Amino acid sequence: MSWYAFAIKVFVVIAVAAAVGALYGRAIEVVTLALLALFGFWLYQMHRVQRWLKGPEGSPPDAHGLWGELLARIYFQQRKNSEAQAQLQATVEYLQDSFAAMRDGVVMVDENGAIKWLNHAVEQLLGLRYPDDAGQTLTNLVRSPEFNSYFLGRDYSKPLQYMALVGSKRIHLRVEITRFGEGERLLFIRDVSNAVRMEQMRSDFVANVSHELRTPLTVISGYLSTFLDSAQELPPRYLKPLQQMSQQAQRMENMLKDLLWLSRIESETRTDHRELVDIRGMLQELRDELAEAYPESIVVLDLDTELSIHGDYRQLYSAVSNLAINAIKYSRPGSPVTLRWHAQDDNCLLQVQDEGIGIDPVHIPRLTERFYRVDDSRNSATGGTGLGLAIVKHVAVAHEAQLQIESKPGQGSTFTLVFPTRG
Ligand SMILES: Nc1ncnc2c1ncn2[C@@H]1O[C@H](COP(=O)(O)OP(=O)(O)OP(=O)(O)O)[C@@H](O)[C@H]1O
Ligand SMILES: [Mg+2]
């Protein structure tokens, strides 16, 4: 019913009341009575609507005319809302069911760090319980300083991996945190103990084999150099093979040395041997050493910052010396090599630049793989093992630095270690 029809209806009631009243000479009283009756009827309807709205959801009371239409519209809106809500609830339940079925732990935390929801897997991984622990502050329940400082640190760009104690068992957990909504956080927790164990076995194996091979190799190269020391007594046809054997034994020794060093860097945790390293002094020391080992090389120092960094001196030294020796090896004799220590924005750059043969861009993504060499024949001439850049990469990772490689074939290469400056 439209407003227009409603108004006509009121008007007709007043007109009829006035006409009937006029018959008895009491028009005003009858009209007032009719209006009062109408007003009373509206009050009654309003009361019914209010009672219906307050009560549990259900179909509206019977009503006609404008009231009926009003009720029907409100009822329609109500149903639409509750349908949408039911759909939303179903989606939330579906998502919770899928999270609940996951083997990885999932925890939802609100903007104040209180637990909203967690799945079954978390009960085993972090020892939490749901719904008992809902509403509790997560960092009060997880008693790991590493976990708590990561969670409160609010930099979640990299996942956290740490060792946790579950009952009497030590497990390795990997935690990733994603923000969503208004300050809420979603945590994914995975038990990576198996992967860590495999990795440990692999690196132990390499370290053990390298170690075990050193003694027989020392014996072989020892005998070879004894033979070569008295070369004039040897039949001439043995000379060349013995020289080559000695060269290759030397290469193998270098390789074992690099492999052992690599597995040592891998096994050292980030906080081992941390000290303030004076990079300027380190580069000066390296330049002096290179001048002795490669007399024809020209090593230029370009040091424009006094900054020191927290790190492991031996590791950093081995990384830069690998880069510098590469720069010398893969350049023409006498071509300059620059060692640069330079501050830029929030970073410090440790750069080794040469004007040597350069590297084809196709090789650059793979250079830091173990044993990867651009050109085998060339490298057997230079005696490389392909482990140098793998060491550099590991040292970079251990120091939270990035290794950047720029190179143009025929023009030279620049290897840069980018250290974030902290504090
Ligand atoms: N400055 C450079 N200029 C040109 N090529 C380079 C340079 N540095 C590295 N390379 C290429 O990258 C390859 C990998 O270098 P890497 O230092 O890992 O091994 P390597 O020098 O052959 O052996 P080593 O283990 O003795 O260092 C090299 O074989 C070489 O081809
Ligand atoms: Mg090298």
| Ligand 1 atom with the shortest distance to the CA of 372 | 14
Ligand 1 in contact with 330 (CB < 6 A)? yes
Q: Is 402 in contact with 418 (CB distance < 8 Å)?
A: yes
Q: Is 113 in contact with 154 (CB distance < 8 Å)?
A: no
Is there a single domain that holds both residue 165 and residue 115?
Answer: yes
Is there a single domain that holds both residue 282 and residue 389?
Answer: yes
Ligand 1 in contact with 191 (CB < 6 A)? no
- Please count the CA atoms within 13 angstroms of the CA of 297 that sit on its side-chain side: 26
The predicted model scores a pTM of 0.68
Q: For position 296, what pLDDT does the model report? A: 92
pLDDT > 70 in the chain, percent: 96
Q: For position 375, what pLDDT does the model report? A: 77
* 309 backbone φψ class: left, alpha, beta (φ>0; ψ -120 to 50): beta
Residues 89-106 have pLDDT tens digits of: 999 888 888 888 888 999
The rounded distance, in Å, linking the Cα atoms of 178 and 175 is 10
Give the 3-state secondary structure of residue 170.
strand
Q: For position 218, what pLDDT does the model report? A: 93
| Ligand 1 atom with the shortest distance to the CA of 327 | 1
Q: Is 286 in contact with 343 (CB distance < 8 Å)?
A: no
Span from the CA of 312 to the centroid of ligand 2 (angstroms):
20
Span from the CA of 342 to the centroid of ligand 2 (angstroms):
23
Q: For position 362, what pLDDT does the model report? A: 94
Mean pLDDT by 10 residues, the chain (423 residues): 78 88 88 89 85 80 78 87 92 86 91 92 89 91 91 90 88 94 92 93 90 93 93 90 92 91 80 83 96 94 92 94 96 95 93 96 94 71 80 93 96 96 63
The rounded distance, in Å, linking the Cα atoms of 407 and 362 is 11
Q: Which of 166, 191, 216 is the last residue of a domain?
A: 191
Q: For position 423, what pLDDT does the model report? A: 44
Q: Is 322 in contact with 392 (CB distance < 8 Å)?
A: yes
We report the CATH number of the domain holding residue 214 as 1.10.287.130
CB atoms inside a 10 Å sphere around CB 391: 22
Is there a single domain that holds both residue 305 and residue 321?
Answer: yes
The size of the chain, in residues, is 423
Show Cβ contacts of residue 423 under 8 Å, excluding neighbours closer than 6 positions. none
Q: For position 377, what pLDDT does the model report? A: 55
The rounded distance, in Å, linking the Cα atoms of 361 and 264 is 31
> Looking at residue 232, what DSSP letter applies?
G
B/e letters for 11-32, b = 16+ CB within 10 Å, e = fewer, are eeeeeebeeebeeeeeeeebbe
Give the 3-state secondary structure of residue 58.
coil
Q: Which domain holds residue 81?
A: 3-89
Does any domain span residue 246? yes
How many structural domains comprise the chain?
4
Ligand 1 in contact with 339 (CB < 6 A)? no
Span from the CA of 407 to the centroid of ligand 1 (angstroms):
12
Q: For position 268, what pLDDT does the model report? A: 76
Q: For position 187, what pLDDT does the model report? A: 94
The rounded distance, in Å, linking the Cα atoms of 201 and 195 is 10
Best probe residue, ligand 1, of 330, 335, 378 (max atoms within 8 Å of C-beta): 330
Does any domain span residue 253? yes
Q: For position 381, what pLDDT does the model report? A: 58
